Structure 1
């Protein structure tokens, strides 16, 4: 089973954490970097949809970016609620090895990352309309390559990614691949539930940690997830959509 998650916009550098692997699609990443280097500051700011300060910071990053130097393991590089609640820095050895084996991060810039793949800070969301290598956007640029890479390793995918990122995989699903999406909601008086974005991000990170600590090997194993009061609700779930409500 492979677990797929989204990246985070904010990143940090920690070159002393551990040895890094080479990202699988690094040569493709270089094409995206070159495409962005051909753009002006104002064009990049529009692409990134950010304020002046962030645009300037990331513009300078692009001009000086070296994809093989000063690397941080991907799962330690991203900063956000999901990663905070995953707590990769404080995982026990067995749990860390589980994350390195089973976790995959979908990225607009790097395509697909393992936990220990070496990355540098960047800004490029999957939904960004970056034209590169004859493609009009990143979904077209990556095509089915991310799906093919995932399913070459395992035919069972546990989806903890946001829609923006899972859309890079879902259109290519075939009948021989099991794709299970986990949904985290808060209970409503009528017996239903409501998904709150902030709490869902926290739950996704906690689910990764729970899987690592419990050595989850199949989607059915994750039905025991009970962090923060969440409980699996079979009556709201299906074979390919697991609903957890608190």
Structure 2
């Protein structure tokens, strides 16, 4: 089994081996993936973190030698946008980026400077609010999962990563995790609310901050009102999403 590791701040993972193909997810700096196939300048990979399969540009990753992997491991994650030094040059990295306990990243010199990697955060209302507000006003981006652009499930996945909870990449798969909460009034901050379309397919997810408040990525990461029917936009009061299920994942 061969692995590669991301060497750019954010590398698009695409549905097909083409720059014109839609982006379905992203590989952050220092995230690993299993190599499955090659097609010209693109590699088909399966991400180690969430087992997501797609195509990535070959020059945005580098091979991982088993000898390096055996003596290196991650210490935690970065939880703020920060600058590190890679091969002697500055690089901006994003929340959710792993910090490796090594002087190199698969042979590439890396200096994390004064960055303190985050161990799993304590699950509290205050910490949840701080973690989610880091993404506030981030533009919606299909397949994105950073403060430079994120989709709804990418936002949820990256926030929960900081609390030591691993979630799948897509909303409909995230909905299969955890225990059902019967009523909105019984929800707790940190519960996940899922929403479906006219065909009954789950297409959206957000994080409850209270029984009538939700933070989610829709146009941008925003805080809106929620009731037993679904989401109402805070300003327009328009109904935008219809509630399907609430799950408790921690």
Provide TM-score, normalisation by structure 2.
0.30
Whose RCO is larger (CA < 8 A, sep 6+)? 1
Structure with the larger helix share: 1
**TM-score, structure 1 as length reference:** 0.30
Q: Which has the higher strand share?
A: 2
